[in-house]
Amino acid sequence: MSNCIACELLKKGKTVLYQTAPVLLESVIDFKLGKSENSGDNLVKSVLDTDLLIIDDLGTETMNSMKLSELFTIINTRILNLNNKITKTIISTNLSIKDIFNNYQDRIGSRIAGYYDIYYFFGDDLRLKKSI
């Protein structure tokens, strides 16, 4: 579903960034700690400014205080339009809302529960069907 939404927005000339939560958070932290090259600055700006940010597989990353802080900053900046631009975010996860509160503290959980529409998808894993 996220890919379909991204494709339609790209056709309309919107910017889209699609990344898994582990890679996204590691990349932002690596840049801030000086472990990455110049492209990191563009990544951080893109994460905050892109028209649509898709964070895939939230909950598969190993969390620490730095990642929690960066995740909060990303979500909060995009919700409150602190980038002076209307931006949207899709978060895909296998976590329940209760798990989100448990894993990411109240300040992240409350923003996800309060500002995002939550949709549940059920059915067979299409990746497994393709391999059979």
Residue 79: pLDDT band with limits 50, 70, 90:
very high
Q: Does domain 2-131 have CATH number 3.40.50.300?
A: yes
Strand arrangement of the beta sheet that strand 88-93 belongs to: 16-20, 52-58, 88-93
Question: Is the distance from CB of 109 to CB of 100 less than 8 angstroms?
Answer: yes
pLDDT of residue 82: 76
* Domain ranges across the chain: 2-131
71-75, 115-119, 123-127: segment of lowest average pLDDT: 123-127
On the question of pLDDT at 6 being above 90, the answer is yes
Q: What is the pLDDT of residues 26-65, one digit of tens each?
A: 999 988 888 766 555 578 888 999 999 999 999 999 999 9
Secondary structure of residue 18 in the 3-state scheme = strand
**Residue written as tokens 């949207």?**
88
pLDDT of residue 121: 87
Residue type, 46: S
Question: Is the distance from CB of 63 to CB of 95 less than 8 angstroms?
Answer: no
pLDDT of residue 122: 86
Tokens at residue 32, please?
């801030």
Say whether pTM exceeds 0.95: no
Question: Is the distance from CB of 78 to CB of 87 less than 8 angstroms?
Answer: yes
Residue 129: pLDDT band with limits 50, 70, 90:
confident
Mean pLDDT of the chain: 90
Q: Is pLDDT larger for residue 22 or for residue 31?
A: 22
Residue type, 60: T
Question: Is the distance from CB of 54 to CB of 92 less than 8 angstroms?
Answer: yes
